[in-house]
């Protein structure tokens, strides 16, 4: 939120441009933002904002440009460096944005002039124009001009824009050679947020009695989870300081709302062991019988020493009893068959 005396607005992209006195060899008091910092920073921000993702992008992005030395257009350097930084950070901008400052030297006596590309500090100070142009390979994103002459002819403007285009393309080639496209993922240390939608009927299952389930997920994964009912769906927003915790929380919630499918393979946890088999939980709240005949290809007389409570086993859902609704699970169909064993007939689904 940006608040001023007159209004309050929200923004998801900020660019702060810092131009300390030492960058130009000066000694001054370090006070508030100067007119130059505000103007040049705004030009760079407007140029890069053209490529920023839409309002559905979950992050608020802040680019900070600290100018350490300036003998040319530090605002155009900010555009180029900012574009590279955004792609490196994994912000999905579709194209690089570069910028270049054009200058002009005129001789009033005979009307001759020369257009300069990428002007230095002296050329800016002694010249008649400071014309900054930013853009991609396809078009212009921003322009800013200061002139010390009465005006410019259309021919001069066309020539300056064409020369600026060639300069920008030259810089863009170097930028694409460094980072050709935005990284597919944000940095490992970047905070993560993901939003998933679940059916309304599963909201209670995710929350649990007195919020026990959702609190356990947050405690075990180190995430923060918000769940709101929106129409016929539950909107689940998961926030995490690291990718590992986020993935764990997402998989946990998806397992709660998942519907068992015959033929699917699950990681199951043994809940209890009986003489005739073991009851295992293959999805949160979903248990099935792993019959003793489905534990191994060998004939087992007892479950002693085979499985114990708390063990994790990989099982396949091979059927569903239509009368009782009980799940039939098998472990041996996932194990290699011993030599000489006959082929097992899969139950029809």
Whether 70 has a pLDDT exceeding 60, the answer reads: yes
**Which of the four pLDDT bands, split at 50, 70 and 90, describes residue 345?**
low
Cβ atoms 317, 264 nearer than 8 A: yes
CB 266 within 8 A of CB 242: no
Rounded to whole angstroms, the Cα distance separating 41 from 74 reads: 10
For 246-257, what is the mean pLDDT? 87
Highest mean pLDDT among 33-42, 106-115, 175-184, 202-211: 175-184
How far is the C-alpha of 343 from the C-alpha of 339, rounded, in Å?
11
The neighbour count for residue 40, using CB atoms within 10 Å, is 22
Cβ neighbourhood burial of 342 (10 Å; 0-12, 13-18, 19+): exposed
Which range has the worst mean pLDDT, 80-84, 124-128, 158-162, 319-323? 319-323
For every residue of 173-241, DSSP letters joined together read: HHHHHH-SS--SS--TTS-EEEEEEEEGGGHHHHH-GGGHHHHHHHHHHT-EEEEEEETTEEEEEEEES
Average pLDDT score over the chain: 87
Structure-model confidence comparison of residues 160 and 347, the more confident one: 160
pLDDT level of residue 163 (50, 70, 90 thresholds): very high
Tens of pLDDT, residue by residue over 306-339, are 787 888 888 888 877 766 767 888 888 888 777 6
Measured distance CA(164)–CA(170) in Å, rounded: 10
Give the strand pairing for 13-18 and 61-66: parallel
User: Residue 349's pLDDT is what?
Assistant: 47
Cβ atoms < 10 Å from Cβ of 225: 19
CA angle at 271 for the pair 266 and 275, rounded to the nearest 5° = 105
pLDDT one-digit tens code per residue, 26-54: 998 888 888 889 999 999 999 999 999 98
Note the pLDDT of residue 11: 92
Tokens 């209004």 locate to 7
pLDDT digits (tens, 9 = 90+) for 112-157: 999 999 998 888 888 899 999 999 999 999 999 988 888 888 999 9
> How is residue 100 written in tokens?
């270049």
Give yes or no for residue 185 having a pLDDT over 60. Answer: yes
Return d(Cα 251, Cα 259) in angstroms, integer. 14
pLDDT of 339: 66
């Amino acid at each position: 939120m940006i608040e001023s005396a007159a209004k309050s607005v929200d923004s998801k992209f900020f660019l702060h441009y810092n131009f300390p006195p030492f960058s130009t060899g000066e000694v001054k008091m370090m006070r508030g933002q100067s007119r130059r910092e505000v103007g040049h920073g705004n030009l760079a921000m407007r140029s890069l904002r053209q490529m920023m993702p839409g309002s559905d992008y979950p992050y608020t992005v802040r680019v900070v440009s600290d100018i350490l030395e300036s003998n040319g257009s530090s605002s155009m350097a900010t555009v180029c460096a900012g574009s590279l930084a955004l792609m490196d950070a994994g912000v999905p901008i579709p194209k690089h944005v570069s910028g270049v400052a054009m200058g002009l030297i005129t001789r009033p006596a005979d009307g001759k002039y020369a257009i300069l590309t990428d002007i230095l500090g002296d050329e800016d100070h002694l010249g008649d124009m400071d014309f900054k142009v930013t853009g991609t390979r396809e078009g212009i994103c921003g322009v800013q001009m200061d002139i010390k002459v009465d005006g410019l002819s259309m021919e001069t403007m066309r020539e300056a824009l064409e020369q600026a285009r060639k300069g920008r393309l030259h810089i863009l080639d170097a930028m694409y050679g460094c980072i050709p496209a935005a990284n597919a993922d944000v940095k490992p240390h970047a905070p993560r947020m993901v939003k998933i939608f679940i059916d309304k009927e599963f909201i209670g299952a995710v929350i649990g009695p007195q919020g026990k389930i959702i609190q356990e997920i947050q405690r075990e994964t180190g995430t923060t989870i918000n769940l709101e009912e929106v129409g016929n769906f539950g909107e689940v927003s998961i926030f995490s300081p690291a990718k590992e915790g986020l993935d764990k929380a997402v998989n946990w919630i998806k397992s709660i709302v998942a519907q068992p499918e015959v033929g699917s393979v699950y990681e199951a946890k043994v809940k209890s062991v009986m003489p005739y088999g073991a009851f295992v939980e293959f999805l949160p709240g979903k248990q099935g019988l792993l019959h003793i005949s489905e534990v191994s290809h060998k004939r087992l007389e007892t479950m002693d020493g085979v499985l114990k409570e708390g063990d994790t086993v990989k099982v396949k859902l091979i059927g569903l009893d239509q009368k009782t609704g009980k799940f039939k699970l098998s472990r041996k169909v996932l194990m290699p068959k011993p030599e000489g064993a006959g082929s097992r007939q899969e139950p029809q689904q």
